[in-house]
């Protein structure tokens, strides 16, 4: 027990009346025994003092422990663009109503910062620690230098809370962006985040190295994975997070779960309050919106992680990646990848689904069954509203670039250098990378070319694959461009609705997106996405719109904050804005000798603005005369091949 920070921590020595019949003059012992008598007497006094002191100290510890509050909840909130652009941090703080929370038995401590702008009492020029009182959050400490994307800042908060708010149990809420297996807590001001290696160090250097948290809630996207769990199993009894993006909205009120916390609640009880609060809010949202969102929250019992990890390591070591590469690549390609609707970098898949798919490639069904059993023991609650999320995900690189993959692997090697799972994904990526490099070395060009002819007839785009292309086929995209007066290629459509029938790819042209008679860049993928902006007199947001389109009408069903490389998790209330913009993307070149794989990132964006309530959105089957059509084919090595431009005349 650390008493260094207890107030009024004075040593109290009670007065004891000890009496015995001893007159130093009358009852003097014989001279030869006097020395022995003194030694015995002093020994008895020392023993008595030590015994009484020990009993008293133990009694004092019991008193101190009984005076502790039941729980200290620590909220580490890095606002980032979630707050500066869409007030999500403010909404979450507003959900915490002190009048409805048992503050006699619970401490709620908030460390907050890391956003360029706040919409409440938080000063954007500082990082501060607040205590929740009956009057609301009261500032206790502030520091103008702290970067909340550094591990030391998290350690500072952990130690401050432990030293100043003693409790029988401690719980942690991490609030911000989540970057899958790579990290979390992006500080917008410092442009820095805590990667998983730093997360381990932050806890290792804190008081919680030796005294575990009871519950850690990751209020972040994509954090319920085996890599986060591996770290947190050393510092927390339970872990709650989401396999998929965890959407933020002022409608969701997840932090109202504090109102339900009772003295005798366990970590499982509290986790259930959070999950139930979230699921009810999502159900309400889905009942009133055409666009549906899923819940993939789950709770892990980290005391079961060691057995689970041992079973995973034994099972994955039986999979021969080299021998089964293309079979495993096809499995990986067809698995649902979390966060991919917004970004390719996260590359996490449901672990239970993965091991079921790998079953034909193991020679030991006993190890497979052991692993399935230990996953079931690990997962206490799984709230998934889909049929492919079982409660925990794993990083399995496939769609992201090699630089991103290597950054993950460098951290994994630091943390788990002898891991069979790390060897599995490293070996898979090595084969994938080498195969792609060899193809480009043969052609001597930075991009792979398709020599296949692209045809366009009767509103149907077709391309025929050769035997090798057909065997390695993964997916395809159709791009439709139009040249502007400056010879830039203006993107009109990118679509993945390409049918693969034997050795032929077919795309049926159904029209282009037109807004108030202007053609807009349209991504006809799963979500029918359009880039744009929302504006009012205070803010301008970069937005990704999702459209609802049918034969009769087209309209926006959702606006999500466009956070660049971060998961786009803020659902924006469009009623807060009066102006709307739609983006036209223009690409500079398509010279086959200079074109690189990153051409998709090199564009100029022109935003065309309208009054929000006066936009006419339609899909118009306009003529593609003078347009340019290009097909991208992606093979099982995840390498792209581009056809020549077909000019429609």
DSSP sequence for 405-462: HHHHHHHHHHH-TT-HHHHHHHHHHHHHHHHHHHHHHHHTSSSEE--SPEEEETTEEE
**Which secondary structure element, helix H or strand E, spans residue 633, and what is its range?**
strand 627-635
User: Do 181 and 89 share a domain, yes or no?
Assistant: yes
Looking at 415, 443, 471, the residue that finishes a domain is: 443
Residue at 303 is within a domain: no
Residue at 591 is within a domain: yes
**Within 13 Å and on the Cβ side, how many CA atoms surround 58?**
5
Which tokens belong to 18? Answer: 């000890």
pLDDT of residue 484: 85
- In the beta sheet, which residues pair with residue 480? 493, 629
pLDDT of residue 595: 60
User: Do 535 and 599 share a domain, yes or no?
Assistant: yes
User: Do 227 and 165 share a domain, yes or no?
Assistant: yes
CA neighbor of 386 nearest in space, from 451, 320, 477, 294? 294
CA separation for the pair 601, 426 (Å, rounded): 27
pLDDT of residue 592: 54
CA separation for the pair 515, 528 (Å, rounded): 14
User: How are beta strands 499-501 and 603-611 bridged, if at all?
Assistant: unpaired
The string of pLDDT tens digits covering residues 403-416 is 899 999 999 999 99
Total-model pTM:
0.84
Residue at 107 is within a domain: yes
Residue at 179 is within a domain: yes
Tokens 């607040």 found at: 130
Asked if 414 and 406 count as a contact pair (C-beta separation under 8 A), the reply is no
User: Do 335 and 412 share a domain, yes or no?
Assistant: yes
User: Do 55 and 196 share a domain, yes or no?
Assistant: no
Residue at 79 is within a domain: yes
CA separation for the pair 311, 542 (Å, rounded): 45
Q: What is the chain's alpha carbon radius of gyration, rounded to the nearest angstrom?
A: 31
User: How are beta strands 69-78 and 167-175 bridged, if at all?
Assistant: parallel
Residue at 304 is within a domain: no
Residue at 199 is within a domain: yes
pLDDT of residue 257: 97
The parent domain of residue 330 ranges over 310-443
Looking at 408, 424, 443, the residue that finishes a domain is: 443
User: Do 537 and 425 share a domain, yes or no?
Assistant: no
Asked if 78 and 187 count as a contact pair (C-beta separation under 8 A), the reply is yes
Cα angle, residue 122 at apex, residues 120 and 128 outer, rounded to 5°: 155
How many other CB atoms are there within 10 angstroms of residue 452's CB atom? 18
Q: Which residues of the chain have pLDDT under 50?
A: 1-41, 44-63
- In the beta sheet, which residues pair with residue 215? 171, 238
CATH of the domain at 124: 3.40.50.11970
User: Do 550 and 515 share a domain, yes or no?
Assistant: yes
Supply the DSSP string of 505-538, one letter for each residue: EEEE---EEEETTEE--EEESTT-EEEEEEE-SS
pLDDT of residue 344: 84
User: Do 466 and 557 share a domain, yes or no?
Assistant: yes
User: How are beta strands 454-457 and 448-449 bridged, if at all?
Assistant: unpaired
- In the beta sheet, which residues pair with residue 549? 554
Looking at 443, 477, 495, the residue that finishes a domain is: 443
CA 327 to chain centre: 29
CA separation for the pair 531, 607 (Å, rounded): 9
Residue at 35 is within a domain: yes
Phi-psi region of 567 (alpha: psi -120 to 50; beta: other; left: phi over 0): beta
User: Do 463 and 419 share a domain, yes or no?
Assistant: no
pLDDT of residue 17: 31
- For the chain, what is the domain count? 4
User: Do 480 and 543 share a domain, yes or no?
Assistant: yes
Name the burial class of residue 264, with classes exposed (0-12), middle (13-18) and buried (19+) by CB atoms within 10 angstroms of its CB: exposed
User: Do 52 and 185 share a domain, yes or no?
Assistant: no
User: Do 253 and 143 share a domain, yes or no?
Assistant: yes
The string of pLDDT tens digits covering residues 104-153 is 999 999 999 999 999 999 999 999 999 999 999 999 999 888 999 999 99
**Which secondary structure element, helix H or strand E, spans residue 57, and what is its range?**
helix 31-67
CA separation for the pair 53, 9 (Å, rounded): 16
């Amino acid at each position: 027990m650390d008493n260094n920070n207890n107030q009024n921590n004075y040593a109290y020595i009670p007065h004891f009346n000890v009496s015995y019949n001893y007159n130093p003059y009358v009852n003097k012992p014989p001279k030869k025994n006097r020395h022995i008598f003194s030694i015995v007497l002093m020994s008895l006094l020392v023993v008595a003092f030590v015994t009484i002191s020990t009993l008293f100290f133990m009694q004092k510890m019991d008193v101190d422990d009984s005076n502790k509050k039941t729980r200290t909840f620590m909220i580490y909130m890095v606002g980032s663009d979630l707050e500066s652009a869409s007030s999500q941090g403010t909404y979450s703080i507003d959900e915490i109503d002190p009048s409805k929370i048992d503050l006699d038995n619970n401490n709620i401590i908030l460390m907050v910062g890391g956003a360029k702008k706040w919409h409440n009492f938080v000063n954007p020029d500082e990082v501060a620690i607040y205590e929740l009182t009956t009057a609301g959050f009261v500032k206790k400490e502030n520091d103008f230098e702290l970067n909340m994307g550094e591990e030391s800042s998290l350690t500072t908060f952990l130690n401050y809370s432990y030293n100043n708010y003693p409790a029988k149990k401690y719980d942690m809420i991490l609030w911000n962006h989540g970057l899958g297996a790579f990290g979390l807590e992006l500080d917008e001001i410092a442009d820095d985040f805590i990667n998983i290696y730093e997360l381990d160090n932050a806890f290792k250097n804190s008081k919680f190295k030796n005294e575990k948290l009871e519950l850690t809630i990751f209020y972040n996207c994509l954090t319920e994975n085996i890599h986060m769990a591996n770290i947190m199993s050393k510092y927390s009894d339970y872990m709650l997070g989401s396999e998929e993006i965890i959407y933020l909205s002022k409608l969701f009120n997840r932090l109202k779960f504090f109102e339900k916390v009772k003295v005798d609640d366990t970590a499982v009880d509290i986790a259930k309050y959070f999950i139930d609060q979230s699921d009810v809010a999502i159900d309400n949202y889905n009942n009133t919106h055409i666009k549906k969102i899923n819940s993939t929250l789950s709770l892990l019992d980290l005391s079961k992680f060691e057995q689970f990890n041992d079973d995973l390591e034994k099972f994955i070591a039986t999979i021969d990646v080299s021998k089964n590469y293309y079979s495993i690549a096809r499995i990986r390609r067809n698995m649902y990848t979390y966060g991919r609707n917004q970004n390719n970098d996260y590359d996490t898949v449901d672990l239970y689904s993965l091991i079921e798919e790998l079953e034909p490639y193991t020679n030991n069904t006993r190890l497979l069954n052991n692993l399935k059993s230990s996953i079931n023991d690990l997962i206490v609650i799984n709230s998934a509203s889909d049929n492919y999320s079982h409660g925990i995900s794993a990083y399995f690189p496939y769609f992201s670039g090699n630089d991103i993959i290597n950054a993950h692997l460098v951290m994994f090697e630091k943390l788990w250098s002898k891991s069979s799972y790390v060897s599995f994904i490293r070996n898979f990526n090595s084969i994938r990378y080498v195969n792609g490099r060899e193809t480009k070395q043969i052609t001597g060009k930075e991009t792979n070319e398709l020599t296949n002819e692209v045809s366009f007839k009767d509103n149907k785009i077709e391309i025929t694959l050769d035997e090798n292309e057909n065997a390695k086929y993964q997916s395809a995209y159709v791009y439709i461009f139009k040249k502007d007066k400056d010879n830039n290629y203006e993107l009109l459509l990118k679509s993945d609705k390409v049918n693969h029938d034997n050795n032929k790819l077919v795309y049926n042209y159904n029209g282009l997106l037109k807004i108030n008679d202007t053609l807009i860049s349209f991504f006809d993928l799963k979500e029918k996405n359009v880039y744009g902006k929302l504006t009012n007199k205070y803010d301008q947001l970069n937005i990704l719109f999702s459209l609802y389109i049918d034969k009769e009408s087209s309209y926006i069903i959702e606006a999500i904050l466009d956070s660049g490389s971060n998961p786009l998790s803020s659902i924006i209330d469009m009623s807060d804005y009066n102006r709307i913009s739609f983006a036209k993307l223009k690409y500079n070149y398509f010279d086959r000798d200079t074109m690189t794989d990153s051409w998709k990132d090199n564009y100029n964006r022109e935003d065309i603005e309208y009054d929000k309530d006066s936009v006419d959105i339609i899909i118009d089957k306009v003529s593609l005369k003078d347009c340019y059509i290009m097909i991208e084919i992606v093979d099982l090595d995840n390498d792209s091949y581009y056809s020549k431009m077909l000019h429609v005349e």
